[in-house]
Amino acid sequence: MAVVGIIANPSAGKDIRRLVAHGRVVSNQEKSNILRRVFAGVASTDTKKILIMPDHSGLSISAAADVSKKLEVEYLDMRVADSQESSTLAAQKMYQEKVDCIVTLGGDGTNRVVAKGSKNIPLVPISTGTNNVFPAPTEGTLAGIVAGRIADKTLSIKESCNQSKKIDIFCNDEFIDDALVDVAISKEMFVGARAVWDINTLHSIILTRAEPVSIGLSSIGSRIENINIDDPFGLYIILDKNIKQGKKYVEAPIAPGTIPKIKIVDYKKITTKDKIFIETYPGTIALDGEREIELLPDNNYYAILNLDGPWVASIPRSMKVLSNI
């Protein structure tokens, strides 16, 4: 049976960047409306079942009622989602249940933790977070159609999806975490409110993507080099304001409504053969815009580009293929 998974983050789009920048707030009501459109899109295909991560806001209740006569709707047997780990656990359970495709509602951070558990399941990400590069602004109806058609095998993964990259972080040669879009090396000592919003605290960034229409830290890279989702390379940029010399200055939208002038000390393209050593103490590592790892002395940290990231649906390309069927 063709099955589409649904992982909607009720907390996406509500972090500190609403206070320090001009990030939009995506209400739970709007997320619920998006899901109603997603479910309608799935119901128009030959997919017969939707498997949902339960959340404390009940985002999918109205959507499930809309399609109750067309689709089997089931909730994962797990604790109601209340943390990042919930999204990873939900993705792992969906992999075990052999879900064919997962629709996500959230930002880069949401998709990062989903990808930890989803393995090779293709993702159809819908942007409801802040500085989003991985999930594009997508109409829910189209996302539902594409997810349903991937699940029912009308669309193959290769003709509908791109394989994204990631950046793997190691400590003392042991893998500890990864990011889908950007890794930021911060001079802030503690994780704190997690979200990265002050560019002056950053020593450097490592990017898998740097596209002209992106916002967030990856937009800095796009002023230097255009790097797409499936290009076999990334970008390493040193920003440290305490270093006197600089190659150039760029203006980039690092957050909604925030476009500072940024000094680029140095930069280079990186491949899977490069090992980027992280030697900022004290400090933290931010993954896809959120500080996650506190750097400790007497440890050896480094990052490596990995081309084996999750498969991500391209809505425009998928709809073009469907129009010719």
Please give the structure tokens belonging to residue 318: 């998928």
User: For the chain, what percent of residues have pLDDT higher than 90?
Assistant: 71
Given this model, what pLDDT does residue 12 score?
A: 60
Half-sphere exposure of 119 (CA within 13 A, CB side): 10
- Tens-place pLDDT, residues 131-178: 578 998 899 999 999 999 999 999 999 999 999 999 999 999 999 999
Domains of the chain, each with CATH number or no CATH: 3-164+310-323 (3.40.50), 166-306 (2.60.200.30)
Given this model, what pLDDT does residue 289 score?
A: 86
Instruction: Return the closest-CA partner of residue 261 out of 269, 270, 272, 253.
Output: 253
Residue type, 303: A
Please say whether the beta carbons of 116 and 88 come within 8 A. Answer: yes
pTM value surpassing 0.85: yes
pLDDT of residue 20 exceeding 70: no
Given this model, what pLDDT does residue 226 score?
A: 95
pLDDT of residue 267 exceeding 50: yes
Given this model, what pLDDT does residue 18 score?
A: 44
Given this model, what pLDDT does residue 16 score?
A: 47
Of 193-202, 214-223, 294-303, the poorest mean pLDDT is in 193-202
How far apart are alpha carbons 303 and 6 in whole angstroms?
31
Given this model, what pLDDT does residue 158 score?
A: 94
Of 30-34, 45-49, 79-83, 301-305, the poorest mean pLDDT is in 79-83
Classify each residue of 19-29 as buried b or exposed e, where b means 16 or more C-beta atoms within 10 Å of its C-beta: eebebeebebe
Of 49-53, 257-261, 312-316, the poorest mean pLDDT is in 257-261
Long-range contacts of 209-212 (CB under 8 A, 24+ apart): 209/133, 209/164, 209/165, 209/181, 209/234, 210/235, 211/133
Give the mean model confidence (pLDDT) for residues 203-232.
94
